[in-house]
Structure 1
């Protein structure tokens, strides 16, 4: 079980559960074609974002494998919601998880995603006791691949045309980190 001691603070960010008042900020990036280009979903309507937010609000703790933790990322200086983190607990038996990171494009290139994702690794490895955490991205998503490499994740696979996404066959990159690698960082 994982019940983070919210709010979690990094040097520049506050990581916390989602709340109803996050709708406008979350929709500001979930509705953008440039954000969803390499993701499984199309830009969300306001109603779709509202439904997503309701689900995220209910995901502030992990109690069983198959669940995911949804964490809002805001700037300490302004309180602005700039990102959306996900930590899936994929298997108790194999002590494994998966991370997901989505940030508003206005905040790309500033190191916020790496700062926030590092806290996801801490939660997964140090608090939940995971052995392995992986992340996946469309091979055309250079920013996502660069983020995972910068975090110290290893590229484990390049799966050729393994999924049909938005009407086209896409390649997928798989990155991972082991708890022993996390401890050596």
Structure 2
């Protein structure tokens, strides 16, 4: 049977309609300008950014991220979602459209250091995975820094399997050194 692609406009509307999304302890919602200080704090933390493979964002870039309207218009676009606990921004999760024609998406998560170790990333990751299924994904991946074994354990808890370790597959934009990535994935029929 031929594969029907994910319609980016429908995917964006699906996520828009789902937010705010409440989990057992968290609220997943759109970012607001009120989030800027907390966002800047964790996005400037060296122990966080080293796993993101990019330099620390400038204040202007961080402000732009807060004011942009998320949309999945084309392959490579990501829909950033704020993670809130008890009225406090604790991090973010993302649903990224990687291949609309092949019905492929990627999820990811970032938590502020003071909110790690409480299961929030797994809880938000599970919600992001459900959003990926809701937009029609057939396959969902998580691409992780090979040294970030905390995120690898989360991916495993989400039912993903490690499919590959890409050795020295790029230069980490934060450290300036070669780094390796892990590809984790799950198919819709495996959920």
Query: Same fold by TM-score, threshold 0.5 exceeded?
Result: yes
Give the conservation status (yes or no) of the 8 Å contact 1:85–1:99.
Answer: yes
Measure how far apart 1:35 and its partner are: 0.8
CA displacement 1:125-170 (0-9 Å, x = unmatched): 1x21110000111111111111111211100001111111132111
Paired positions, count: 176
Do the aligned residues in 2 keep the contact of 1:33 with 1:42 (CA within 8 Å)?
no
SS where residue 86 of structure 1 aligns? Answer: strand
Q: 1:136 aligns with which of 139, 143, 148?
A: 143
SS across alignment from 1:66? coil
Q: Distance between the aligned counterparts of 1:151 and 1:8, measured in 2?
A: 18
Residue 112 (1) aligns with residue 120 (2): yes
Work out the CA distance in 2 between the residues paired with 1:160 and 1:64: 28
Aligned ranges for residues 1-185 of structure 1 at < 5 Å? 1-2=10-11, 3=13, 4=15, 5-55=18-68, 58-59=69-70, 61-75=71-85, 78-125=86-133, 127-165=134-172, 166-182=175-191
CA-to-partner distance for each residue in 1:16-36, whole Å, 9 max, x for gaps? Answer: 111111101111100111111
Q: Equivalents in 2 of 1:156, 1:37: separation in Å? A: 22
**What secondary structure is seen at the aligned counterpart in 1 of 2:55?**
coil
Output the TM-score relative to the length of structure 1: 0.89
Q: CA RMSD in A?
A: 1.4
Are the structure 2 counterparts of residues 170 and 66 from structure 1 closer, same or farther at C-alpha, using a change threshold of 3 Å? Answer: closer
Q: C-alpha separation between the residues in 1 aligned to 2:190 and 2:61?
A: 38
Q: Specify which structure has the bigger relative contact order, considering alpha-carbon pairs within 8 angstroms and separated by 6 or more residues.
A: 2
TM-fit CA distance, 1:90: 1.3
Task: Return the alpha-carbon distance in structure 1 between the equivalents of residues 138 and 92 of structure 2.
Answer: 23
TM-superposition CA deviations, 1:53-89 (whole Å, max 9, x none): 223xx10x435443221110101xx200001111111
Specify every segment of 5 or more residues in structure 1 that has no aligned partner in the other structure, as ranges.
none
